[in-house]
Homo-oligomer: A and B are copies of this chain.
Amino acid sequence: MSDRRNERATVKDVAARAGVSPATVSRVLTGDYPVTATTRGRVQRAIRELDYVANAQARALKGAGTRLVAFVMEDVTGPSFAYVAKGVEHQATAHGRLCLICTTHGDPARELAVVEAMREQRADAVILVGGGFLNDEYRARMIQFAHALDKAGSRLVLCGRPSLGDDVPTTVVEYDNEGGAYAVTSHLLSQGHRRVAAVGLTRLDHTTSRDRLRGFTRAHEEYGVPVDETLLRAAAFTEADGHAATRALLAERADVTAIFAATDMVAAGAYQALREAGRRVPEDVSVVGYDDIPLAANLYPPLTTVRVPTEELGRTAVRLALNPAEKQHVVLGTHVVVRDSVAPVVVRSSAGNRLLR
């Protein structure tokens, strides 16, 4: 192993070696000031010889230097976060920013720590990604964060969740959560389904869950189909929960013909439960998901789901936060991706299978 404790050359050293002043070295470095070709050459040679590398901290202190964009979420391994991260990272580097990544695990103490750290770092944007909670305490905390960051010159960006109110200094980039749920539920209803279960949409304290349920309900209203409360099953947004909830559902209500899974992961669990119960998708039960994560296309049968423009969400978040002139609240569209997990409903009679409607 080599030394690691290495005296790094400074502008002063370079200047001494090149026989010029530190100011000239700085000017060669930034290139925003005329310097004679010969002087520039001498300086550049000295830089090369000393393997000089600028100190970003010192630069930042003077107001120049690379700025930061922070990407904050509960857990890095959420299936769609990688795509938001990709959008954030691309846009951030396009703007010459470095991209920090922080996780909170939903722990308020860590959230606070992250926000404080970002205030100290003077991050340009702090992008909170994923749905938010709906209780007052959480909301108050977020509003406080927004103001705290604003005062420190940073911008809080809500990415994938609704606004906290017009008077809160935030940038909001959400997607049409309710609309997607409406569309995909309508898709099911249009295929004749009348007993549609919703798995994982009972968490009314969470924006994602709430908005998807709203779309689910609105579609039912529009079709004049009453929502059967007993078909609303609780489940966290995980495969395991989707599996368990669907199994329980099938045991109690063998008559469901379609399942709206709150997320594609939940849908994956539902697939599993259906398989175990010997019910085919989509012949016996249709299934739809939400998010359109890569997994969706790889399930068998490929899952009909709602596409969320994750990467664009990330890109937009950075772009808006860095361009205060732009409108600071946008809603990106969602759309149904039709694959093979939905079929028209059939009703089994003693005379055999017959298409309904």
Contact = CB atoms under 8 A, between A and B. Distances in A.
B86 A77 contact: yes
A151 B50 CA distance: 11
Contacts of A98: 100, 102, 117, 121
Contact of A2 (B3, B90, B169, B299): B169
Q: With a 10 A CB-CB cut-off, give which of A85, A116, A272 has the most chain B CB atoms.
A: A85
A153 B8 contact: yes
A101 B120 contact: no
Contacts of A90: 103
A77 B86 CA distance: 7
Contacts of A148: 51
Given A71-B101, A82-B76, A300-B299, A6 B275 contact: no
Q: Report copies per complex.
A: 2
A55 B101 contact: no
Contacts of A85: 76, 101
B66 A77 contact: no
Interface in A66-124: 66, 71, 75-79, 81-83, 85-86, 89-90, 93, 98-103, 116-117, 119-122
A239 B101 contact: no
Interface in A2-34: 2-6, 8
B117 A294 contact: no
Contacts of A271: 298, 300
Nearest to A148: B51
Interface residues of A, number: 64
A120 B299 contact: no
B82 A86 contact: no
Contact of A76 (B55, B58, B89): B89
Q: With a 10 A CB-CB cut-off, give which of A61, A65, A81 has the most chain B CB atoms.
A: A61
Contacts of A78: 82
A331 to B, nearest CB: 18
Contacts of A116: 53
A35 interface: no
A59 to B, nearest CB: 8
Contacts of A152: 6, 8, 53
B169 A1 contact: yes
Interface string A29-58: 000000000000000000000010111111
A277 interface: no
Contacts of A2: 150, 169
A7 to B, nearest CB: 10
A55 B152 CA distance: 10
Contacts of A202: none
A324 interface: yes
Interface string A142-163: 0000001011110100000000
12 contacts: A4-B153, A4-B155, A4-B324, A8-B151, A53-B119, A55-B122, A58-B61, A77-B86, A82-B82, A90-B103, A98-B102, A298-B299
